[in-house]
Amino acid sequence: MSSTASAQKRQRGFRVKLLGSVLALVLLENGRQVRARINQLSVNGALLSLETPLAEGIQVTVLFHIGFATIRCRSHMLFPMWATQGCLQPLKFLELSDGDRACLARELEALVRAGAPQEEDDV
């Protein structure tokens, strides 16, 4: 592996598997609110567990609390995948402030140190 590739890998965060232990509220532009569970989380986005999928490509505001951080961020919904109960739908954070990103990174790092399952983040 080249030094550039390894440097990029080190700069990436982790995708922590939360397995639905963190609740999220998805606020749609029409005012509707959808409850979800966060299956995986990174500083770039999340994988939500939903009863029914949301339209791919819509922009939403997602709100969740993890550790000492409360995150509220505009997000872009990606293509949903059907699961045994409901669906899993990824989203990408669009407007996560630097402060919220740093706070979320600290909380994810604390989860990793505590032994939470993770994988390299490529989202």
Is residue 88 a contact partner of residue 81, using CB atoms and an 8 Å limit?
yes
- Sequence-separated contacts (24+) of 29-37 with Cβ below 8 Å: 29/58, 29/59, 29/60
Find the mean pLDDT for residues 2-30: 75
Percent of the chain whose predicted confidence (pLDDT) is above 90: 70
Domains, the chain, ordered by start: 14-117 (2.40.10.220)
Question: What single-letter DSSP state applies at residue 57?
Answer: T
pLDDT for position 120:
58
Banded pLDDT at 3 (limits 50, 70, 90): very low
pLDDT for 12 equals: 61
For residue 113, pLDDT beyond 70: yes
DSSP 8-state secondary structure symbol assigned to residue 51? S
